């Protein structure tokens, strides 16, 4: 009986764990900026985006770097959906069991020479 309970708990935890978010073709075009305000000062702000990876019940199954990478990918996907080409990040929220970040999505392509 004890083995069945433990097996059931493990199976439930496994089912509840999500995969880390991977980038899309569109989101890979979104540049991520941190602490460079001048880069976005002449850009059009399109909105706030946020991302979050990990949960209190499965954070120990994912490396911190994978949760940060997944969070950034979520944000880049959301920024791309808004039509943005730049994501300006703000300081991340403190975390111990998940990663949550937020920032502003900007359209800057008319202001850059690439």
pLDDT tens track, the chain, 114 positions: 666 655 545 444 444 445 667 767 888 889 888 878 888 999 999 999 999 887 655 655 666 677 788 889 999 999 999 999 999 998 766 666 678 889 999 999 854 444
pTM passes above 0.85: no
What is the signed CA dihedral for 95, 99, 104, 108, rounded to 10 degrees?
A: 130
Residue 111 corresponds to which tokens in the numbers above? 């202001």
- Domains located in the chain, CATH noted: 2-111 (3.30.110.70)
Please, which residues have CB within 8 angstroms of residue 103's CB and are 6 or more apart in sequence?
A: 48, 49, 50, 75, 87, 88, 89, 90
């Amino acid at each position: 009986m004890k083995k069945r309970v433990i097996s059931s708990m493990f199976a439930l935890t496994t089912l509840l764990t999500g995969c880390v978010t991977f980038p899309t073709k569109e989101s890979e075009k979104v540049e991520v900026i941190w602490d460079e305000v001048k880069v976005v000062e002449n850009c059009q702000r399109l909105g706030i985006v946020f991302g979050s990876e990990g949960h209190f019940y499965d954070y120990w199954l994912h490396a911190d770097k994978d949760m940060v990478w997944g969070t950034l990918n979520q944000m880049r996907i959301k920024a791309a959906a808004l039509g943005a080409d730049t994501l300006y990040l703000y300081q991340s929220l403190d975390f111990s069991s998940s990663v949550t970040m937020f920032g502003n999505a900007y359209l800057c392509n008319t202001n850059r020479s690439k």
